[in-house]
Structure 1
Amino acid sequence: MNRSPHGLNRRAATVLLAAAAALSPWAAQAQGTPEAPRVKLETSAGDIVIELYPDKAPKTVANFLQYVRDKHYEGTIFHRVIDSFMIQGGGYDTRYNEKPTRAPLRHEGREALAAGGPRNVVGTVAMARTSDPHSASAQFFINTKDNAFLDPTLIPPGDPVPKFEFQGRVYENVPRASLERSPQLFGYTVFGKVVSGMDVVKKIESVKTGAGGPFPSDVPRTPVVIKSATLIKE
């Protein structure tokens, strides 16, 4: 069956196809690429807008957006604030009750970094977790300085890995599986960055802190509340 366009001979079709191919880069440029989703955190200290990177950390971004859609973050506080380090929130209400969460998330920090994702530098947003790399759920933190020691460690090729350096020490002929399972090498998954309201982040960072609820330190004496979290661009 002839699948050429109606009434178009082969030569004319070839010319049109060649023209379309030549124009395709310009067409793609005109159409643009899909913009990254953004979430606005309305806090008692001001608004913070976070741009997310689903192309680098898709599962982490999807997890965060689901909590946003579920209105999980409304009424939660920044419960851990450390000057020249980071501000952390999204897990506790103003009475220091921990909010229920879904099942924890599989860590994808290495995949994100290998895909060209950002590191833990000023303004980036990462998932908080326990010592278990796969324990992140809803809590997140915003880096207020460059925190390279929080970055995931990429494992060189080979099994065993011929040479591996970590924290100033060199290891040779290490079984790959032992490196891939080592909790110290997972780091923290960066999945977004503050694009507006970094002055608000710095304002939160500078508040006076002390003991609060179950925490012996680093809790803002005047609660910093997330009033709402809204997806403003998808």
Structure 2
Amino acid sequence: MRILLTALCWLLVSSAYAIGDGSEIQPADIFPRVKIETNMGNIVVELDRIKTPITTNNFLLYVTRGSYKGTIFHRVVKDFVVQGGGYDKDYNAKPTIRTIFNESGSGNKNEMYTIAMAREKDPHTANRQFYFNMNDNPSLDPGRKWGYAVFGRVVEGTEVLDKMADVETHTAPELGWTDVPKEPLVIEKATLLPQQF
């Protein structure tokens, strides 16, 4: 019995370690950069591990596992947001690792060309979906209520996002979702770039 309990404890600890929290990815890099290659061009984001370590590390987990490959930007609202990372081209939800604590109180604002975490109504439900702000969106910042956690900014490819924000959208008949691009906006690959010294 004691051996069985020890083995079970070891299995649980090793499983948690295998999942990690992302802090082990380029641990010395406080502003890691990720290149997001899409069918409309490339975007490079610089993340902020100082103010939003939980959110940044979580995003890096998905990036380094190749989890964004083949996902789409399923929601585009002109002059507001371009949102994606959660569904494949057939609108199937992709697997999630966990939900994370909402770091919207970090001081980062939902300003144009920043990257932030999408979530449900509950403030601590973000997992893999993210969005780009296509305007200054103070309504998404925290106040008397929780906001949406901004964890980085676009440093290359703003023109790609501008093109995405201009695509024609519709209500997807098979889902009933609004603001869905008529032609898929696909993330072909997301790659962690080498650390800058």
Structures share fold, TM-score greater than 0.5: yes
Check if 1:200 corresponds to 2:166: no
Q: How many residues align?
A: 167
Q: What stretches of structure 2 of length at least 5 have no aligned partner?
A: 1-27
Q: What stretches of structure 1 of length at least 5 have no aligned partner?
A: 1-32, 154-165, 167-184
Secondary structure of residue in 2 paired with 1:61: helix
> What CA distance in whole angstroms lies between the structure 2 residues aligned with 1:88 and 1:188?
13
Q: Aligned AA for 2:192?
A: L
* Matched residue, 1:230: 191
> What CA distance in whole angstroms lies between the structure 2 residues aligned with 1:131 and 1:35?
30
Pairs within 5 Å for 1:163-178: none
TM-score (norm 2): 0.82
Check if 1:221 corresponds to 2:163: no
Deviations 1:143-189 (A, max 9, x none): 00000010112xxxxxxxxxxxx6xxxxxxxxxxxxxxxxxx11000
> What CA distance in whole angstroms lies between the structure 2 residues aligned with 1:199 and 1:124?
14
TM-score (norm 1): 0.69
Secondary structure of residue in 2 paired with 1:199: helix
Check if 1:68 corresponds to 2:29: no
- Structure 1 residues 34 and 129, CA gap change in structure 2 (3 angstroms): closer
CA shift, 1:49, in A, is: 0.4
> What CA distance in whole angstroms lies between the structure 2 residues aligned with 1:228 and 1:104?
23
* Matched residue, 2:117: 127
Contact residue 42 and residue 227 of structure 1 kept, 8 A: yes
Percent identity over the alignment? Answer: 47
Check if 1:148 corresponds to 2:138: yes
The structure with more radius of gyration? 1
* Matched residue, 1:161: none
* Matched residue, 1:170: none
Structural RMSD (CA): 1.4
CA shift, 1:34, in A, is: 5.6
Structure with the largest fraction of strand: 1
Pairs within 5 Å for 1:21-170: 36-110=31-105, 112-113=106-107, 118-153=108-143
CA shift, 1:106, in A, is: 1.1
CA shift, 1:233, in A, is: 3.2
> What CA distance in whole angstroms lies between the structure 1 residues aligned with 2:124 and 2:30?
29
Contact residue 30 and residue 48 of structure 2 kept, 8 A: no
